[in-house]
Amino acid sequence: MFCERIDLFEARKDGYHICRIPGIVVTKNNVVLVTTEARQGVGGDYDNIDIFIRRSLDCGKTFTPATKLVDHLNYGDGPVSNFVMIPDMTTGRVIAVYCHDYARAFTMYSDDDGATFSEPVEITATFDLFKNEYPWQVCATGPGHGLQLRNGRMIIPIWMSDGSGTEMGSGHRGHRPSAVASIYSDDNGITWNRSEMVCRHGDIIGTETIINPSETIAVELTDGSVMFNLRTESKIHRRLIANSKDGVSNWKVTGFDDALLEPVCMASMIRYSWPEAGSPGCIIFANPDNLEQTMATWAIDRKRITIKCSNDDCNTWSVSKVLEPGPSGYSDLAVLKDGTMLCFYECDIVEHLCDTKYLRLARFDMEWVKQ
């Protein structure tokens, strides 16, 4: 039984105001890759942002120095953001998709476990396929890791906004009202297609109105179907659930998960194991398990990141373990070949809520979670 922690990025370093938006994957060769948005200015979503990466060859115990993977100057002023990776467990290639200025999308890949990446290729045309149905002015991938199904299909949840409002008084295109869909690839990330729409701001589910669905995480269920777990600003303050048999079409929004609190924050989810030999299989989930509002007047506290486990395809959550009781926000999960779990997350604050001090990696085993 163990739980170890290491801080991998820190605010107010090397000319950057903060590092936010953790991303983590484990490659086919068991190499750990972590990424962050290194934000200049005051650390806002529309400030100049670069993507940095670190690698671990010893299961997340030590890491290479941070290197700049994507430089915003190659695209123009504005953020490079929402960097999503998918390790191809067939070829070993690591596919990455990301955005610039919430208006363009690009993909690149690595064939050496993240040591180097290919030149980027623009795939904004895939997002443009939504415009006849949803005239977006803002688009974003993920964030967090993408999903590869057992049949090889790659799926990246996306969110879009018509940009009708300005973002937090900054004068930039607003991230609300919003809608959720996905892009997918059936050729190992070479080409990308659009899914059907999942849901939009203002949709009704039961007696509840869906308000501003956005950052979404995905998992494959035992029967091969795909479940989306969505962040929203809905008044019920629970995570929203949607399902599709193929992860692309005929989405059905099934309701809000009463067991998963929604403090309006990114969450993470990943399959830990598949059912076999009488074992039911396991899916793990992480987010700030909190609805208190003491840190700011304009948002629920981001604190108390908690790991939850489900042994029945997310119908119930039988285990709940607090990982970080203090300030803690966005997170991303990965699993090593030996079953060690990795949670890469924002924690502590410098001056105020969302002013993240550290991006921290926790390594822990199932015995610790169940303790």
Query: 188-212: per-residue pLDDT in tens?
Result: 999 999 999 999 999 999 999 999 9
| pLDDT of res. 172 | 79
| pLDDT of res. 350 | 97
Ranges 81-95, 170-184, 331-345: which has the least confidence: 170-184
**Model confidence at 67: pLDDT above 90:** yes
Query: 1-29: per-residue pLDDT in tens?
Result: 999 999 999 999 999 999 999 999 999 99
Query: What's the 3-state SS for the chain?
Result: CCEEEEEEEECCECCECEEEEEEEEECCCCCEEEEEEEECCCCCCCCCEEEEEEEECCCCCCCCCCEEEECHHHCCCCEEEEEEEEECCCCCCEEEEEEECCCEEEEEEECCCCCCCCCCEECHHHHHCCCCCCCCCEEEECCCCCEECCCCCEEEEEEEECCCCECCCCCCECCCCEEEEEEEECCCCCCCEECCCCEECCCEECCEECCCCCCEEEEECCCCCEEEEECCCCCCCEEEEEEECCCCCCCEEEEEEEEEECCCCCCEEEEEECCECCECCEEEEEEECCCCCCCCCCCCCCEEEEEEEECCCCCCCCEEEEEEEEEEEEEEEEECCCCCEEEEEEEEECCCCCCEEEEEEEEECHHHHHC
User: Strands 154-161 and 138-141, how do they pair?
Assistant: antiparallel
Nearest to 49 by CA among 96, 88, 99: 99
Report how far residue 43's alpha carbon sits from residue 57's, in angstroms, rounded to the nearest whole number. 30
Report how far residue 127's alpha carbon sits from residue 119's, in angstroms, rounded to the nearest whole number. 20
Q: How many CA atoms lie within 13 A of 136 on its CB side?
A: 28
Q: Which residue has the tokens 């998709």?
A: 97
| pLDDT of res. 277 | 85
| pLDDT of res. 294 | 96
Percentage of the chain beyond pLDDT 70 is 98
Q: How confident is the model at residue 104 (pLDDT cuts 50, 70, 90)?
A: very high
**Model confidence at 166: pLDDT above 80:** no
| pLDDT of res. 163 | 83
Query: 282-323: per-residue pLDDT in tens?
Result: 999 999 999 999 999 999 999 999 999 999 999 999 999 999
Nearest to 259 by CA among 237, 231, 278, 280: 237
Query: How much is the average pLDDT of 163-169?
Result: 65
| pLDDT of res. 170 | 59
Report how far residue 21's alpha carbon sits from residue 3's, in angstroms, rounded to the nearest whole number. 22
Q: What is the overall mean pLDDT for the chain?
A: 96
**Model confidence at 167: pLDDT above 60:** no
| pLDDT of res. 171 | 67
Q: How confident is the model at residue 87 (pLDDT cuts 50, 70, 90)?
A: very high
- Please report the domains of the chain, with CATH numbers, ordered by start residue: 3-370 (2.120.10.10)
